[in-house]
Amino acid sequence: DTGVSQDPRHKITKRGQNVTFRCDPISEHNRLYWYRQTLGQGPEFLTYFQNEAQLEKSRLLSDRFSAERPKGSFSTLEIQRTEQGDSAMYLCASSLALWGPYEQYFGPGTRLTVT
């Protein structure tokens, strides 16, 4: 399967703990996006990378959130000192942003539950 993959698929953690999620984009896709989706809502943009550079961050991305894409391939999203409000599906998407294509392809998501 050459689609976007995310790990883990599910994570249950206690309030105050740190968690880290991984996203592997489609091979050769240079853009990688993180979104958050709460139940019954559409995905909300968090941040995106072009290669290893983080180009934009949403106001939703508080100081407790940090994302990296160290070699321009996979990315990690870390949440420090988790809160119950962080419970959501965290989605990763990738695209090949050259002169034209806009399409973003999503992974299956990581479901985070903070107890």
Q: State the distance between the two ends of the chain, measured CA to CA, in whole angstroms.
A: 33
The DSSP call for residue 31 is E
**Least distance CB 35 / another protein (angstroms):** 8
Residues in the chain: 115
Angstrom CA distances, 26 to 19, 30, 72, 111, stand at 23, 9, 12, 20
Size of the site for another protein (CB under 8 A): 30
Site residues (CB under 8 A) for another protein, limited to 49-78: 50, 56, 58
Under rule CB under 8 A, residue 1 binds another protein: no
What residue ranges bind another protein (CB under 8 A)? 4, 31, 33, 35, 40-45, 48, 50, 56, 58, 91, 93, 95, 97, 99-109, 111
